[in-house]
Chain A
Amino acid sequence: MDLFLTIITAATPLLLAAIGELVVERSGVLNLGVEGMMVMGAVCGFGAAFLTGNPWVGVLASIIAGAAMSLLFGFLTLTLLANQVATGLALTLLGIGLSGLIGESFVGQPGVKLPVVAGIDPLIPFSVILTAGVSYVLFRTRSGLIIRAVGNSHSAAHALGYNVIAVRYLCVMFGGACAGLAGGYLSIVYTPQWVENMTAGKGWIALALVVFASWLPWRAAIGAYLFGAISILSFVVQTYGLGIPSQFLNSLPYLVTILALVLISGNRALSKRNTPACLGQPFVPDR
């Protein structure tokens, strides 16, 4: 049971970030800055919780920090039409650098942890509800239909009179808020402390999970738990001392990710149906 909970806890930040990015990509925007938004969420969440002593203020701060970063991304790519890939990479670099600067005085400070009931912190059920909610909204409501339509063909959505840019701004900010919360989870729940660059690539894994999930929320959850399981199991195996090199075990989750991506992209019918056709393309309305 303990092992199971450890896996769920390791998977929850990945799930939160992946669900946010999934919505962003469904609207046709590729934000590669998840890692940067996460790490900013982590430092701001830790800082706010540390300074106020209230972990919930920390959670709120991490959400705001992630959303603010994504707003910057949105302004650059949606309003100024900057290249989404380059801007996303820059956002990651900015987040890592800026979080180091903000967090300088927090290093080594004791953190404030969210209350845990029977080993379950409140964000675990929240992440499951969020997944269900996103799945419901995307596939059962008009708002979700509009998001998918904008991601499938922004020119057709525009021709029907939808405000493509506004829809994308909202989705990008939702993604940023989720990524920020995922970062906050790391510094307020998972390991209640601030370490520079503490996201350690989790943002990139969340990005891969979105593709792995072929843009379907429940598959993202399965992917996140699978990834969490493999990374925790590789620790467990090491303690048994089976003589498997630890480097190999550490790389196992990434190998599985690559394998899964290859298998998923083999299913053409599924990816054709769910891949947002306008992913990464800037939208320039007619004059």
Chain B
Amino acid sequence: MSANEITPLLEARNIVKIFGTLRANDDVTLKCMPGEIHAFLGENGAGKSTLVKMIYGALQPTSGQFFWNGRGVVIASPSVARQLGIGMVFQHFSLFEALTVAENIALAMPGSFDLGALSARISKVSASYGLPIAPDAVVADLSVGERQRIEIIRCLLQEPKLLIMDEPTSVLTPQEADQLFAVLKRLASEGCSVLYISHRLEEVKDLCDSATILRHGKVVACVNPKKETAASLARLMVGGDVHAVKPAKAGTVGKERLLLKNLSLAADGQFAVALKNISLAVRAGEVVAIAGVAGNGQGEFFDAISGERPVETGMVEIDGVAMGRAGINARRKVGAAFVPEERLGHGAVPEFPLSQNVLLSRHAADDRLVKKGLVQKDGARETAERVIKAFDVRKGKPDPEARALSGGNLQKFVVGRELDRTPAVLVINQPTWGVDAGAAAAIRQAILDLAAQGSAVLVISQDLDEIFEVATRIAVISRGELSEARPAAAWSREAIGLMMAGAHEQKHDSRKEKRHAAGA
């Protein structure tokens, strides 16, 4: 080693982490230089989160060592990590829902306890980096995008030397993502290193100076992403070619199968979103995608169509039957199927094996599973196995509990469970959120195939790549209002992004006004 070579800010040397029989990290070595944006790539389950948790002190390595500015360190706890200058934005946010933004941030800040002074600092950093947030808002009332800002501001306030970002753009509009990239580039130019975890290879190519790629717990390559193509990076990650989604043929579009007429729903809570006069027809053979930033009424929209929240009877029609007041099972019986956003807890019961999870959404509409009120165990098992096979759900044991599957595999299962019925109408909220490239491609292909068979598919998504890949027509939802659904070819990314973001900014202003009004 020559004397004038730059010392890495953080170096992980020969890290091994063993959980039971699983080697989650196997001899992982990673170097992050001062002021660089370093990508950390790998499929779900490759071991990225494990390494990152060890860097942040939440887990301890089985063997191997970390070096900080060339000195060997033991990162015994997150507070040690913070003292070193390591900040982390978690993928599954580590926020306290019942507490305010300022309280959440105070919990991570050492020193004197003064919420007023802290709120002022939050507002200052939030203005300086263009990350709008109200310090006195309660987290439970905020959207996913806003929650991410809290985490970022929480890190920035600690003036970190290394910022770890775990899948940060999955919840942002293109404009919000660009804004985030500007923040990250500014941080890097100020000398702060960024360890950037993502599945989105294009943005890694744009943003990152170097990339370490992990597969099955082992480092397979360390490359300069600017000299690679997205396809070559994907090959390194997956260890083979990723099948591109075959675009739908401009097929025949049939009758209207899902019809929404002036769908309105009052807001359920102070900061919840009300749906305003949404009208939309989804016809057989087409995929309609709803684009929008998290927290603009997508959840309420999904709940109203699926029957989790009843509306007036004529507002929702499925295959010509007015279903606005009907429960979710009645809607399933006429051929509709629904995939909610949250796969664990909403889409599947974590503690139940897959064969029982199959029953949850299909017990009413499928007599192979339930006959005369009795559960058909064999039928359930066969159905689960059929779904597992058709969607290549990778699992450890024959009938594992839902929580034992990785995110991507569970999502494939939850989607597959509904597709297995070939529903007439499929409504799917965030089909590939936090899912690796391989699984996402499989799910998108399945959505297109279903539409090609004559079903009507409604996809709610924040991922514009996904929307352009699957959609026949696109509409944008903002503040509970839906734009006109226009053919995908008639939209540009910028047009969609502006529609999503412009409305979002207005929403902030209106909230502020609401608060002022309440205070006055």
A residues apposed to B, CB below 8 Å: 141-142, 145-146, 148-149, 152-153, 155-162, 268-269, 272-277, 286-287
Nearest chain-A residue to B81 (Cβ)?
Answer: A161
> Could you pull out 23 A-B pairs where Cβ atoms are within 8 angstroms?
A141-B113, A142-B106, A142-B113, A148-B96, A149-B96, A149-B99, A149-B103, A152-B97, A153-B94, A153-B95, A156-B94, A157-B96, A159-B58, A159-B90, A159-B94, A160-B94, A161-B57, A161-B80, A161-B82, A268-B269, A269-B270, A273-B140, A286-B53
Nearest Cβ in chain A — how far from B363, in angstroms?
28
Complex CA gap A143/B407 in Å reads 36
Query: B77 contacts which chain A residues (CB < 8 A)?
Result: 161
Nearest Cβ in chain B — how far from A196, in angstroms?
42
Chain B window 75-107, contacts with chain A (Cβ cutoff 8 Å), 1 for yes, 0 for no: 001111010000000100011111100010011
Q: Would you call A274 and B78 a contact (CB within 8 A)?
A: no
Query: A149 contacts which chain B residues (CB < 8 A)?
Result: 96, 99, 103, 107
Chain B window 247-279, contacts with chain A (Cβ cutoff 8 Å), 1 for yes, 0 for no: 000000000000000000000011000000000
Complex CA gap A273/B270 in Å reads 12
Complex CA gap A161/B88 in Å reads 13
Query: B78 contacts which chain A residues (CB < 8 A)?
Result: 159-161
B residues apposed to A, CB below 8 Å: 19, 53, 57-59, 77-80, 82, 90, 94-99, 103, 106-108, 113, 138, 140, 269-270
Complex CA gap A269/B140 in Å reads 11
Nearest chain-B residue to A163 (Cβ)?
Answer: B77
Nearest Cβ in chain A — how far from B73, in angstroms?
16
Complex CA gap A155/B95 in Å reads 10
Query: A277 contacts which chain B residues (CB < 8 A)?
Result: 97-98
Nearest chain-B residue to A285 (Cβ)?
Answer: B58
Nearest chain-B residue to A269 (Cβ)?
Answer: B269
Known contacts A161-B82, A273-B138; decide if A153 and B107 are in contact (CB<8 Å): no
Complex CA gap A165/B163 in Å reads 28
Known contacts A269-B269, A269-B270, A287-B19; decide if A160 and B108 are in contact (CB<8 Å): yes
Name the one of A160, A162, A273 contacting B98, with C-beta atoms under 8 angstroms: A273
Q: Would you call A161 and B79 a contact (CB within 8 A)?
A: yes
Interface SS majority for chain A: helix
Nearest Cβ in chain A — how far from B465, in angstroms?
30
- Supplied contacts A159-B78, A160-B79, 18 more A-B pairs, CB within 8 Å: A141-B113, A142-B113, A145-B103, A145-B107, A145-B113, A148-B99, A149-B107, A152-B98, A153-B94, A153-B95, A159-B58, A159-B90, A161-B57, A161-B78, A268-B269, A273-B140, A276-B98, A287-B59
Q: Would you call B96 and A156 a contact (CB within 8 A)?
A: yes
Query: A273 contacts which chain B residues (CB < 8 A)?
Result: 98, 138, 140
Q: Would you call A156 and B95 a contact (CB within 8 A)?
A: yes
Query: B82 contacts which chain A residues (CB < 8 A)?
Result: 161
Nearest chain-A residue to B76 (Cβ)?
Answer: A161
Q: Would you call B58 and A145 a contact (CB within 8 A)?
A: no
Complex CA gap A273/B77 in Å reads 29
Nearest Cβ in chain B — how far from A89, in angstroms?
24
Query: A157 contacts which chain B residues (CB < 8 A)?
Result: 96, 107
Complex CA gap A286/B140 in Å reads 25
Q: Would you call B106 and A145 a contact (CB within 8 A)?
A: yes
Query: A275 contacts which chain B residues (CB < 8 A)?
Result: 98
Counted as pairs of residues, one from A and one from B, with CB atoms less than 8 Å apart, the total is 65
Query: B140 contacts which chain A residues (CB < 8 A)?
Result: 272-273
Query: B79 contacts which chain A residues (CB < 8 A)?
Result: 160-161
Query: B95 contacts which chain A residues (CB < 8 A)?
Result: 153, 156
Q: Would you call A146 and B113 a contact (CB within 8 A)?
A: no
Query: A146 contacts which chain B residues (CB < 8 A)?
Result: 107
Query: A145 contacts which chain B residues (CB < 8 A)?
Result: 99, 103, 106-107, 113
Nearest Cβ in chain A — how far from B272, in angstroms?
11
Query: B98 contacts which chain A residues (CB < 8 A)?
Result: 148, 152, 272-277
Nearest chain-A residue to B96 (Cβ)?
Answer: A152
Query: B59 contacts which chain A residues (CB < 8 A)?
Result: 286-287
Nearest chain-B residue to A145 (Cβ)?
Answer: B103
Complex CA gap A142/B77 in Å reads 20
Nearest Cβ in chain B — how far from A93, in angstroms?
30
From B57, B58, B97, B98, residue with most partner A Cβ within 10 Å: B98
Complex CA gap A286/B59 in Å reads 7
Complex CA gap A1/B95 in Å reads 50
Query: A269 contacts which chain B residues (CB < 8 A)?
Result: 269-270
Complex CA gap A160/B104 in Å reads 10
Query: B103 contacts which chain A residues (CB < 8 A)?
Result: 145, 149
Query: A148 contacts which chain B residues (CB < 8 A)?
Result: 96, 98-99
Complex CA gap A156/B78 in Å reads 11
Complex CA gap A159/B270 in Å reads 29
Nearest Cβ in chain B — how far from A268, in angstroms?
8
Nearest Cβ in chain B — how far from A168, in angstroms?
16
Q: Would you call A153 and B97 a contact (CB within 8 A)?
A: yes
Complex CA gap A67/B113 in Å reads 29
Nearest Cβ in chain A — how far from B369, in angstroms?
31
Complex CA gap A264/B107 in Å reads 30
Q: Would you call B113 and A160 a contact (CB within 8 A)?
A: no
Query: A162 contacts which chain B residues (CB < 8 A)?
Result: 107
Nearest chain-B residue to A273 (Cβ)?
Answer: B98
Query: B99 contacts which chain A residues (CB < 8 A)?
Result: 145, 148-149, 152
Complex CA gap A272/B140 in Å reads 9
Complex CA gap A141/B106 in Å reads 11
Query: A272 contacts which chain B residues (CB < 8 A)?
Result: 98, 140
Q: Would you call B58 and A286 a contact (CB within 8 A)?
A: yes
Complex CA gap A268/B270 in Å reads 11
Complex CA gap A161/B80 in Å reads 9
Nearest Cβ in chain B — how far from A3, in angstroms?
40
Query: A141 contacts which chain B residues (CB < 8 A)?
Result: 113
Query: A160 contacts which chain B residues (CB < 8 A)?
Result: 78-79, 94, 107-108
Q: Would you call B138 and A155 a contact (CB within 8 A)?
A: no
Q: Would you call A155 and B94 a contact (CB within 8 A)?
A: yes
Nearest Cβ in chain B — how far from A72, in angstroms?
29
Q: Would you call A153 and B96 a contact (CB within 8 A)?
A: yes
Query: A156 contacts which chain B residues (CB < 8 A)?
Result: 94-96
From B53, B94, B138, residue with most partner A Cβ within 10 Å: B94
Complex CA gap A159/B53 in Å reads 9
Nearest Cβ in chain B — how far from A36, in angstroms?
30
Query: A286 contacts which chain B residues (CB < 8 A)?
Result: 53, 58-59
Query: B270 contacts which chain A residues (CB < 8 A)?
Result: 269
Nearest Cβ in chain A — how far from B436, in angstroms?
22
Query: B19 contacts which chain A residues (CB < 8 A)?
Result: 287
Complex CA gap A142/B107 in Å reads 8
From B78, B90, B96, residue with most partner A Cβ within 10 Å: B96
Nearest Cβ in chain A — how far from B74, in angstroms?
14
Nearest Cβ in chain A — how far from B86, in angstroms?
12
Complex CA gap A148/B94 in Å reads 15
Complex CA gap A120/B89 in Å reads 55
Nearest Cβ in chain B — how far from A225, in angstroms?
27
